[in-house]
Every structure is written in structure tokens, then in C-alpha cells.
């Protein structure tokens, strides 16, 4: 029996697996149709049959935004792990390790820097696969690191939340990430730089009630669930059926909380246009004056292509709002 | 008269004995003064024993005690010339959040806070202290008024959390909370918050992004209710007691984590046994917290608040386990 179960069975299983790779096809969780994996990747995980936008992992999200290998990873600071020594039916430390090996990430957010068009952008992408994209200290630090990188590089900041909310296992310290992330995105705004939020499925709880609702522009992916309280909690509280489309991107747009609802196919184009509009008020074509003396480049201050908002902010002092001793924290 | 918590049964029995004895007093016969005194001492000892050893879940019960000090009483006792203000100037008035202007120890201040209400009717009117977006937007209005007139801002928090409802979501509950946090963080005036009973998640931090955060001894502060946490992580609200322990939501833990700057001692047996005495201690602690802030300039106040929150949960702030 041992030879059969220990040796032959695994070998057989491996053979079967090699013949029919499980990940060749993927079933759409919305319409149930089988989709050829390669096609799904080409469509950035939007179902070709029903247009359902499946979740993108953090790396896939940054690859989609900037192009694969077209972005630089921003290092994230070390944070205390499991500060409360939290334990439910499982240790939080074990849950963290499991999430890390499942996703290959250290925590739920990746930060990358790259260009959209030729405008510098720093982007922070949540990975729902990492403990539901929940916000603990590491996530708060990642958002803060992204904001600092944006200010340092005079770049636009784009955050892609995908999160069930606060990470309960970090208790009150997860709640404290709400003010901490608000401080982070306000630093970007105070530096005169654009801060965009791309609300992806799902954006709920303490994430929505902090940095995710404070963007200069709120873009939402088609069909994304966006809200504060969970639908089950609301249904139990009011004891009524929830209205159709409740807490969907389109519903939030109708209720004034979202500027633009966009299909993932057009997302990068939309963002590229938006950052260009806000960061480069003078169009590029007009911005190439003939050099006065041939061969000599125009003086830098005459270059309308330079990124202006930061300079403007520095002139009126808004850029100094953070104070010099901040860096020593 | 008291409403007793289940772990206070021994106290309830002793006190009903005392009441019984008092009722028979004067009917002649034996002198019962000594007996009353003996029982009263026993009440004190029993209370001391219970309250010195409250586990986190019992603390949650005390923090939710119906006779906990309420905003109306706090304002009545601490604030003179109080003028309540109403409305968010956009949609409506939310009675779950109260606030206005008045004098605190002689100085003009802006006051705001959540109100759970004291009677059944009152509780309904105040929606049990669970605010809708209008409430957080009114709070923001009050904060901005404090800023405009350079008045200190006092905030009193006792809420299970923001109200989960369809209308609240449609009118931007998340945005209203986010803006309240943002506005609080940007103020250039002294801002002191006290968690009086329950500090429930986003609905609490919306009113508590302050320079100093105080907590009453048996108040709790948490990212989620123990019941909610238990039903998600243990798949049953029956594990609320374990969740309360795991969440470390007591005032004492908050002080250790530096989320609270100071814990204010409650009377023996909890704030509900001496509400006015508790409020007086709260008032004294608020004044103490305010004193160093009123001499700071606006930029420094804003800077201090930022630094305070940015330092939370960092390795250098001694977070790496006990």
C-alpha cells in the first residue's frame, strides 16, 4: 500500500497535471463561461463574454498601467509585524506567512514609479489576494512611501485600492492608518501635484473612509463595489432588500462620489490624458519654441514643458506645509 | 436604581439588602446601622475586586453601560453659555452628533461629540450615537468654525460607529468620514478629544484626529466591535470575548500603544456610579491637556498632530512586542 500511495499515485497525478494544465482555462466568476487563459491576460482579466472586470493583482496592475518591466519598484520601509500578537483561530503571524507565500508579496501594496505618456507617475496598487487587501501598518506605510516618492519626484500619485478595509488583526493600529494615509495624500496635494484614486473592486471600509475618497479625481472601474459599510451589515440593519446596483461604481457616480467610470480597456488612456492635462497645462506641440540661436537649447525657465505645479506650490509656500523636521520622524 | 451588568450580580444583591434594611429602619428594634455599614463596606470591596480585574470583554460592557456619561450631561456640566449649533448646510441635521460653542473654564471653545441618548425616546432621536454623513459634515463645519475664530476644539466620543444604511452610503458616508479626519488633521487650533465610552472605528476617528487623545479608564477604542470581529474571524459572534481580548481595545492598551495620551481614572465601580464626579475629572484632564496647546502657534499645532499620528505603530516607538 505504501509503495502505491507514496510513489505511484503522486507520479500519476503529476502526469495527469502535465497533460492538462489546470490554468489553461479560467471560469468567469460572473457569467461562468470558460475563457482561454492567454486571451484573459491579453484583456487584462476582463471577461470577453460579459465584460466582468476580474481583480488584478498588484504586480499585474502596475504592469498594466506602465507596461511590463517599464516601472521601478519603490522600496517600502520595515514595519513591526504582528504588533498585537493577535490570534484568532489562527495566529496572525501564520496568516501573514501564508499570504506572503501565496502572493509573493511582503504585504498588500506594491508601489511603482514610471511614466504615463512622458509624465512621471508614482502608483500604489493593492492586492486583494493578500488578506483581502486589508490595511494594516505595512499598507499605511506603503501609501505614505508612495506619497513621499511622488513629492520627491514631482510626480502624480495614483492609488488603486482593492480592499475589504482595515486589517482587524492589527487592531487599533489599523484604524490609525486612516489618519496616517490622509496625511500622506494631503502632502501630495499640498505639493501641488495631482492625486488620483482608481477605485477597483472592492473598495470598502476604512480604506474608502480615508485616502480613497480624497482624490482630486475619482476614477472607478466598471462594476466595482465601492462603499463604507458591508452590504450584509446594511441589509441586517435596515431589514430590507438593497437597491439594484447598490454600491457599484455606476451607482456611486450617480450619487456624486465618482467622477469617471471607465472600462479597464480605456483606463490607462484615461489616466494618461488626465495626468497630462493637469501636470502639463501647455500642450507639448506648442511648447517647442525655435531656439534663438541654432544649436543652443532654450533656457530652462522658458521651457513650457517643465512640470510646473510644484514650482508654483513652492512659490506660494504651500509646499512647505510639511515642515522640515518631518523627515526626521 | 442602577442597571447592573451580569458580572455585578453580587453587588446588586448586596445593594438590594442595604435598601431592604434602610426600608425597615425606624420601625424600632435592633440597631441596623452597623449592619448597613458592614454591607456597604462589602459593596466597596466587591466592586474593587471586580473592577480591578475587568477583562477586555467586561470593559466593553462597562463602556456600553446605559448610564455612562452622555454628551448632553458633559456639556451641561463643563460648558457655560453653551449654544448648540445644528445642520451640515447641505442635507440635514444629524442628532447623533452634537456640538456648538460655549465657555470651558472661562475660555470660548467649540465642542462636538457623539450622543447616544439617555432614555429610549432619546436614544431613537440620536440614532444610538451612530451618525450619518450629515453628522460628520456638521462636525467638519464645527471644526472649521473653531479654526476661523481661533478657538480650541473639544471632542467627546462615545459611538458604536458610523450608521450602516442605504441613505448613509448614498450620501457618501465614507467621504464624510474621510473629510472629517482630513479637516481635523489640518486645523491650526488646539484640538483635544476624549473617548468617553465606546470608540467605534471610523465613526470615532472622524472626531478624534486630535493633538491629545484622552480615554476614560473603562472606555474602549477599536477598529471593529468584538462581535463583528468574532463573526468574521471565528465565524460566530459568540466568540466576542476572545475577540475583545485579541483586539486589545482597552484604554490601558491604548496608552501603551500611544494611541491614547492619558487614561482618566473612573470612580470605583465605573463612571456610571458617579457620573458627575467622572465628568469633573474629565473636565480637569481636558483642561490639563489644553494648557500646553493654547500657547502653541497654529503651524506647530498642526505639525504636532501630524507627527503624533505618523509615529503610531512605528518600530522606533517601541512597538516590537511587549
Do B246 and A84 meet the contact criterion of CB atoms below 8 Å apart? yes
Does residue B297 have a pLDDT over 60?
yes
Measured between beta carbons, the chain B residues lying within 8 angstroms of A137 are 313
Do B147 and B187 meet the contact criterion of CB atoms below 8 Å apart? yes
- Cβ–Cβ below 8 Å for A213 and B232: no
- Cβ–Cβ below 8 Å for B248 and A186: no
Question: What pLDDT does residue A299 have?
Answer: 47
C-alpha A135/C-alpha B311 separation (Å) is: 17
What would you measure as the largest C-alpha separation in chain A, in angstroms?
89
Looking at chain B, which residue has its C-alpha nearest residue A230? Answer: B164
Judge if the upstream peptide bond of residue B219 is cis by omega within 30 degrees of 0: no
Strand partners, A260: A219
| Set of cell numbers at residue B298 | 497654529
A195 touches chain B (CB under 8 A): no
Looking at chain A, which residue has its C-alpha nearest residue B256? Answer: A84
Query: Cα B84 vs. chain centroid, distance in angstroms?
Result: 19
The region of weakest confidence among A90-94, B29-33, B69-73, B124-128 is B29-33
The region of weakest confidence among A236-240, B94-98, B131-135, B287-291 is A236-240
Question: Can you point out the beta strands (E) in A104-194?
Answer: 109-116, 119-126, 156-160
B44 min Cα distance to partner chain A (Å): 33
Query: Which of A57 and B2 is assigned the larger pLDDT?
Result: A57
Looking at chain A, which residue has its C-alpha nearest residue B232? Answer: A168
Looking at chain A, which residue has its C-alpha nearest residue B183? Answer: A182
- Cβ–Cβ below 8 Å for B178 and A140: no
Question: What pLDDT does residue B48 have?
Answer: 94
Question: What pLDDT does residue A291 have?
Answer: 58
- Cβ–Cβ below 8 Å for B222 and A171: yes
Rounded mean pLDDT of chain B?
Answer: 94
| Residues of A (285-314) whose Cβ lies below 8 Å from B | none
Cell numbers 436604581 label which residue? B1
- Cβ–Cβ below 8 Å for A228 and B166: no
- Cβ–Cβ below 8 Å for B178 and A86: no
Strand partners, B157: B195
**Chains A, B: CB contacts under 8 A, how many?**
188
Measured between beta carbons, the chain A residues lying within 8 angstroms of B249 are 171-172
The region of weakest confidence among A212-226, B21-35, B46-60, B274-288 is B21-35
For residue B207, what pLDDT band results from cuts at 50, 70 and 90?
very high
For chain B, percent of residues with pLDDT exceeding 90: 90
Measured between beta carbons, the chain A residues lying within 8 angstroms of B251 are none
A320 touches chain B (CB under 8 A): no
Those residues whose C-beta lies under 8 Å from the C-beta of residue A228, and which sit 6 or more positions away, are A204, A205, A208, A209, B162, B164, B168, B169, B173, B174, B177, B202
Give the residue among A146, A181, A135, A81 at the shortest CA–CA distance from B315. A81
C-alpha B257/C-alpha B279 separation (Å) is: 25
Does residue B109 have a pLDDT over 60?
yes
Question: What pLDDT does residue A329 have?
Answer: 38
Q: Domain A55-279 belongs to what architecture?
A: Alpha-Beta Complex (3.90)
Average pLDDT over residues B131-160: 98
Question: What pLDDT does residue A310 have?
Answer: 45
Q: What is the ipTM, given to two decimal places?
A: 0.94
A37 min Cα distance to partner chain B (Å): 33
| Residues of A (7-66) whose Cβ lies below 8 Å from B | none
Domain boundaries, chain B: 7-53, 60-318
A256 touches chain B (CB under 8 A): yes
Does residue B119 have a pLDDT over 90?
yes
A327 touches chain B (CB under 8 A): no
Question: What pLDDT does residue A270 have?
Answer: 98
Q: DSSP class of residue B54? A: -
Print pLDDT tens along chain A (329 aa). 456 666 666 666 665 555 555 678 999 999 999 999 999 999 999 999 999 999 999 999 999 999 999 999 999 999 999 999 999 999 999 999 999 999 999 999 999 999 999 999 999 999 999 999 999 999 999 999 999 999 999 999 999 999 999 999 999 999 999 999 999 999 999 999 999 999 999 999 999 999 999 999 999 999 999 999 999 889 888 888 899 999 999 999 999 999 999 999 999 999 999 999 999 878 766 655 665 555 544 444 445 454 544 444 444 444 344 444 444 43
Do A113 and A76 meet the contact criterion of CB atoms below 8 Å apart? no
Cα dihedral sign, B223-B229-B232-B237: negative
Q: Domain B60-318 belongs to what architecture?
A: Alpha-Beta Complex (3.90)
- Cβ–Cβ below 8 Å for A88 and B182: no
Model's pTM, two decimal places?
0.88
Measured between beta carbons, the chain B residues lying within 8 angstroms of A215 are none
Domain boundaries, chain A: 16-54, 55-279
Measured between beta carbons, the chain B residues lying within 8 angstroms of A229 are 162, 164-165, 168-169, 173
Of A172, A205, A246, the CB nearest to B254: A172
| Set of cell numbers at residue A312 | 508654483
Average pLDDT over residues B208-224: 98
Measured between beta carbons, the chain A residues lying within 8 angstroms of B184 are 179
Please provide the distance, in angstroms rounded to a whole number, between the alpha carbons at the two ends of chain A. Answer: 63
Average pLDDT over residues B215-226: 97
Of A86, A176, A229, the CB nearest to B313: A176
- Cβ–Cβ below 8 Å for B309 and A205: no
Question: What pLDDT does residue A314 have?
Answer: 43
B231 min Cα distance to partner chain A (Å): 11
Average pLDDT over residues B256-280: 97
Question: What pLDDT does residue A316 have?
Answer: 43
Measured between beta carbons, the chain B residues lying within 8 angstroms of A78 are 315
pLDDT digits (tens, 9 = 90+) for B155-203: 999 999 999 999 999 999 999 999 999 999 999 999 999 999 999 999 9
| Set of cell numbers at residue A155 | 510626480
Amino acid at each position: 500500500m505504501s509503495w502505491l500511495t507514496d510513489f505511484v499515485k503522486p507520479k500519476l497525478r503529476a502526469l495527469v497535471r502535465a497533460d492538462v494544465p489546470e490554468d489553461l482555462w479560467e471560469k468567469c466568476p460572473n457569467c461562468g463561461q470558460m475563457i482561454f487563459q492567454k486571451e484573459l491576460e491579453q484583456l487584462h482579466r476582463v471577461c470577453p463574454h460579459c465584460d466582468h472586470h476580474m481583480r488584478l493583482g498588484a504586480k499585474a496592475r502596475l504592469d498594466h498601467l506602465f507596461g511590463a518591466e517599464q516601472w521601478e519598484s519603490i522600496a517600502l520601509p520595515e514595519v513591526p509585524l504582528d504588533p498585537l500578537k493577535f490570534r484568532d483561530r489562527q495566529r496572525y503571524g501564520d496568516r501573514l506567512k501564508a499570504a506572503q507565500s501565496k502572493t509573493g508579496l511582503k504585504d498588500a501594496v506594491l508601489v511603482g514609479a514610471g511614466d504615463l505618456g512622458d509624465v512621471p507617475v508614482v502608483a500604489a496598487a493593492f492586492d486583494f489576494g493578500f488578506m483581502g487587501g486589508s490595511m494594516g501598518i505595512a499598507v499605511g506605510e506603503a501609501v505614505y512611501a508612495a506619497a513621499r516618492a511622488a513629492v520627491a519626484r514631482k510626480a502624480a500619485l495614483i492609488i488603486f485600492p482593492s480592499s475589504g478595509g482595515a486589517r482587524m488583526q492589527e487592531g487599533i493600529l489599523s484604524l490609525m492608518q486612516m489618519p496616517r494615509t490622509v496625511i500622506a495624500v494631503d502632502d501630495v496635494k499640498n505639493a501641488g501635484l495631482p492625486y488620483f484614486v482608481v477605485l477597483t473592486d472592492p473598495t470598502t471600509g476604512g480604506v474608502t473612509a480615508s485616502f480613497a475618497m480624497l482624490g482630486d479625481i475619482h476614477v472607478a472601474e466598471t462594476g466595482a463595489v465601492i462603499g463604507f459599510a458591508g452590504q450584509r451589515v446594511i441589509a441586517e440593519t435596515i431589514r430590507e432588500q438593497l437597491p439594484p446596483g447598490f454600491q457599484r461604481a455606476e451607482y456611486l457616480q450617480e450619487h456624486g462620489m465618482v467622477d469617471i467610470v471607465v472600462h479597464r480597456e480605456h483606463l490607462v488612456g484615461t489616466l494618461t490624458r488626465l495626468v497630462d492635462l493637469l501636470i502639463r497645462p501647455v500642450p507639448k506641440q506648442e511648447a517647442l519654441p525655435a531656439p534663438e540661436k541654432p544649436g543652443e537649447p532654450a533656457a530652462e525657465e522658458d521651457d513650457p514643458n517643465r512640470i510646473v505645479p510644484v514650482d508654483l506650490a513652492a512659490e506660494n509656500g504651500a509646499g512647505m506645509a510639511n515642515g522640515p523636521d518631518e523627515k526626521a520622524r | 436604581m442602577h442597571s447592573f451588568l451580569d458580572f455585578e450580580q453580587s453587588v446588586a444583591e448586596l445593594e438590594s439588602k442595604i435598601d431592604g434594611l434602610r426600608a425597615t429602619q425606624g420601625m424600632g428594634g435592633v440597631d441596623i446601622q452597623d449592619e448597613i455599614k458592614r454591607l456597604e463596606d462589602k459593596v466597596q470591596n466587591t466592586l474593587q475586586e471586580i473592577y480591578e480585574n475587568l477583562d477586555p470583554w467586561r470593559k466593553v460592557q462597562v463602556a456600553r453601560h446605559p448610564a455612562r456619561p452622555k454628551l448632553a450631561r458633559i456639556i451641561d456640566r463643563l460648558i457655560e453659555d453653551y449654544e448648540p449649533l445644528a445642520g451640515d448646510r447641505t442635507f440635514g441635521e444629524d442628532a447623533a452628533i452634537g456640538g456648538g460653542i460655549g465657555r470651558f473654564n472661562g475660555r470660548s471653545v467649540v465642542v462636538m461629540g457623539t450622543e447616544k441618548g439617555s432614555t429610549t425616546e432619546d436614544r431613537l432621536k440620536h440614532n444610538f450615537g451612530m451618525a450619518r454623513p450629515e453628522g460628520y459634515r456638521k462636525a467638519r463645519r464645527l471644526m472649521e468654525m473653531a479654526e476661523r475664530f481661533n478657538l480650541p476644539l473639544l471632542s467627546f466620543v462615545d459611538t458604536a460607529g458610523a450608521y450602516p444604511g442605504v441613505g448613509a452610503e448614498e450620501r457618501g458616508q465614507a467621504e464624510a468620514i474621510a473629510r472629517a479626519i482630513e479637516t481635523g488633521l489640518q486645523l491650526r487650533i488646539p484640538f483635544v478629544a476624549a473617548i468617553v465610552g465606546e470608540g467605534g472605528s471610523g465613526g470615532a476617528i472622524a472626531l478624534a484626529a486630535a493633538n491629545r487623545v484622552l480615554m476614560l479608564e473603562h472606555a474602549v477604542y477599536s477598529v471593529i466591535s468584538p462581535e463583528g470581529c468574532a463573526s468574521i474571524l471565528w465565524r460566530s459572534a459568540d466568540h466576542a470575548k476572545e475577540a475583545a481580548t485579541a483586539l486589545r481595545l482597552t484604554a490601558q492598551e491604548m496608552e501603551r500603544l500611544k494611541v491614547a495620551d492619558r487614561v482618566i481614572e473612573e470612580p470605583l465601580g465605573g463612571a456610571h456610579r458617579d457620573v458627575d464626579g467622572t465628568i469633573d475629572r474629565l473636565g480637569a484632564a481636558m483642561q490639563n491637556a489644553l494648557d500646553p496647546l493654547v500657547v502653541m502657534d497654529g503651524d506647530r499645532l498642526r505639525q504636532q498632530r501630524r507627527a503624533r499620528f505618523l509615529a503610531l505603530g512605528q518600530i522606533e516607538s517601541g512597538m516590537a512586542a511587549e
